[in-house]
Chains A and B, each alone.
Chain A
Amino acid sequence: MSSIFQSRGFLGKRRQDAPADRVPPGQYVTPDFPVLSAGPTPRTPLDRWSFEINGLVSQPTSWSWADFQRLPSRYFMVDIHCVTKWSKLDTHWEGVSIDTLLEAVQVDPQARYVMAFCDGGYTTNIPLDEVTGGKAFVAYQYDGASLPPEHGGPARLVVPQLYFWKSAKWVRGLTLIEKDKPGFWESLGYNNHGDPWKEERYHGD
């Protein structure tokens, strides 16, 4: 992505706060946690909340909020990168690894992708091998407290190695599928894959 163009008189004053190996191209580090979403914040009472895995699995499974809390959880410290250019380093989460959830349902061998579905109708597609192997989790705590609704609470998917729109807020489940198909933003001009290190922001990147 090198460019011969130069912006007259631009030196760049924020570069000092960006360790190069932690910040993907075109991103800047922010101490804030900006909120982005396409519509109002859904609010599902916990007694009506469930997390479901269906599609190409032997044992489609649904966990209630109480069941979900009893699953083995762990702490994750990850860097997150939003397509709107901000990155936030060393964010602290607690949640359940996708590996733990997939063990319970027994994934069919032909499954290649997951489609996350959410309260409010949001969807996003991710290759199965990018949510397994300890690479993704469903978080219900952020910085030692319950995940606030505007950040996706009660629970959100976190897939740190992809742009943050893949980390679906208000997630309610995953559908395992064989053939890839675009989710919400992937249908609206954003990249189907979304790797921040390859700067896969938009269609065609």
Chain B
Amino acid sequence: MAIELLKEGFVPRILEWQVSTVVKVRQETPSTKTFTLALPNWIPHRAGQHYDVRLTAPDGYQAQRSYSIASSPEQRGEIELTIERLEDGEVSTYLHDVLILGDQVELRGPIGGYFVWEASMGGPLLLVAGGSGIVPLMAMLRHRQAAGSKAPGRLLYSTRSYDDIIYQQELEKLNQTATGFEVIHTLTRLQPEGWNGYNRRIDRTMLEEVIQPLGKGLIAYVCGPTAMVEAVANTLVTLGIPADRVRTERFGPTGGV
């Protein structure tokens, strides 16, 4: 783990709560929506960071959750949060079922300084996503494009079915334009007719094939359910990628997929 210690004289910025306004809501997949939130005190984030969302009930009861930023720091004045609706969730169900255009949401951020990628860090980049773990990686891809980065790389994206692919069209476009970045899907449960891509959970053989053209000097970002992240990160190390070049972010309970 590379440790980036505080620079001498660096004054940490205090993260204040601010009231954002919902300016756009887009249904991405049956279970995910993207909320575009306009911020009165927007500051540029680093791709991979998150914001905290705080909800307050009339009697003062509050609930907070962290959500990864999907938009690039080049998209000024607002952030996009892509959020999966969890059936037993308290905050995600509110955001999905209640929140509409023009509503206000309390936020603070950006937060997190390790699971980040900036164009100046270069590549080659290996991004590995499971389900809604794509969100912070999408911020990196959008930043790469907006910043005009030529860093080569590959995204390996595992979803249950084709319909569960978030940002499907945007990823498809990235694949079709010769930008030096390739998107590879694996559909673990249900494949459309004629699908000739991967159709299983990410395993050692798949990772070996995906990283082969990138070489051992890659920087890896892995985000998804705990079990997937654990397996992918540890397999990358056994494939010869130094542990300090594998950065992870996880969600969900132990063993949950």
Chain A contacts to B: CB under 8 angstroms: 2-3, 5-15, 25-26, 28, 30, 32-42, 84-85, 120-123, 150-151, 182, 184-185, 187-189, 201-205
Contacts and interface: CB of A to CB of B under 8 A. Distances in A.
A203 B66 contact: no
Main secondary structure of the interface of A (DSSP, over half): loop
Nearest to A43: B234
Nearest to A2: B60
B103 A37 contact: no
Contacts of B19: 5
B57 interface: yes
Nearest to B6: A187
Contact of B248 (A9, A33, A38, A204): A38
Contacts, number: 144
Contacts of A39: 1, 233, 243-244, 246-248
Interface stretch (B104-112, B119-127, B157-165): B104-112
A87 to B, nearest CB: 12
Interface residues of B, number: 55
Contacts of B57: 6-7, 10-12
A47 B48 CA distance: 38
A33 B254 contact: yes
A6 B3 CA distance: 39
A38 B62 contact: no
A40 B236 contact: yes
Interface stretch (B7-15, B133-141, B146-154, B184-192): B7-15
B226 A6 contact: no
Contact of B55 (A7, A34, A41): A7
Interface string B216-257: 000000000010001001101100000110111011111010
Contacts of B63: 10, 12, 14, 26, 28
B62 A26 contact: yes
B195 interface: no
Contact of B253 (A12, A26, A32, A37): A32
